Structure 1
Amino acid sequence: MSSQQLSEEAARNKALENCRSAGPGECKVQITYRNQCVSLVHPTQGAGGVFMTGPTIEESVRLGKAKCAALGKGECAVKVSECSDPIFRKF
């Protein structure tokens, strides 16, 4: 994951860089977001997981846990949650 980047391209590049530095494996951008929060929720047993966005961490976690539970793989846990800083552009 990456946050605090000023463009989508910079965020994608940083996320891929972070993934590659974590070790071997397939790295792919799963979600992009701006002026909101994101949570990554995984089943505590088995594979899979979901990314969900929302206006607050609490909302993205709530939505992520609900979607994860719908996978039917048992209990779910939040692995990461963060928010981007709001960027306001004056016109």
Structure 2
Amino acid sequence: MYRMLLLSGCMFVSVAASAQGCPNGIPLAGNPGCIPPDQSNSPYYQRDGAATTQSRAVWADRWGAIAVDKSKQSVGIGVAEMMVSERKAKAGAIGDCRAKGGTQCKVVLAYYNQCGVLVAGDAGYTSMGSSTAEAAAKLGMEQCTKTGLSNCRVYYSACSFPERVR
């Protein structure tokens, strides 16, 4: 009886070990033969020698811009978000400002992979960029009051974060 128990225990350990899969560093999924990824017959083989189970993520910068027209009685504003380049963001913001009736539109802030805000007071404005909309708004409000403007408020806020392209 003792031998039978020992024999069944050994069989259980053997089955459990084979169910574990491939040795460390060799992917199991879609690879029933546990072929190392650097061998040409492996389902994970890549010619350049870089075998991998997943491709690396690729991120692209995204730009935003804020343009204002100070010739208006109130601040005229144009904006662009999630643009692929600084040039396109600036052109988009100026185009948006002009589409809203602006005639002397100028870019006051271009930012990428972050957030931008325009904070306006009774007699002027300030713009600021930071990692979050809240942080940019806090910095903008501080700058607005520091420059002596009253009744400061966040007039516009947006983020243009990197976008995964692969």
Q: Name 1:60's counterpart in structure 2.
A: 136
Q: Which has the higher contact order (CA 8 A, sep 6+)?
A: 1
Q: What TM-score does the superposition give when structure 2 sets the normalisation length?
A: 0.50
Quote the Cα distance in structure 2 between the aligned partners of 1:19 and 1:74: 25
Q: Name 1:23's counterpart in structure 2.
A: 101
Secondary structure at 2:139 match in 1? helix
The 5 Å alignment of 1:34-45 reads: 34-43=112-121, 45=122
Quote the Cα distance in structure 1 between the aligned partners of 2:118 and 2:156: 5
Unaligned stretches of 5+ residues in structure 1: none
Unaligned stretches of 5+ residues in structure 2: 1-78
- The structure in which a higher percent of residues are strand is 2
The 5 Å alignment of 1:71-90 reads: 71-87=147-163
**Cα distance, 1:41 vs structure 2:** 0.2
Kindly indicate whether residue 165 of structure 2 is the aligned counterpart of residue 69 of structure 1: no
Q: What TM-score does the superposition give when structure 1 sets the normalisation length?
A: 0.87
User: Which residue, 75, 82, 89 being the options, matches 1:11?
Assistant: 89
Q: Name 2:54's counterpart in structure 1.
A: none
RMSD: 1.6
Secondary structure at 1:33 match in 2? strand
Flag the 1:84–1:59 CA change in 2: closer, same or farther, 3 A. Answer: same
**Cα distance, 1:9 vs structure 2:** 1.0
Q: Find runs of 4+ consecutive structure 1 residues off by over 6 angstroms.
A: none
Q: Name 2:44's counterpart in structure 1.
A: none
Secondary structure at 2:112 match in 1? coil
Quote the Cα distance in structure 1 between the aligned partners of 2:126 and 2:105: 16
The percentage of counterpart residues that share the same residue type is 35
Residue deviations 1:13-46, cap 9 Å, x none? 1111101111143111111110000110011x2x
Partner AA of 1:5 in structure 2: M
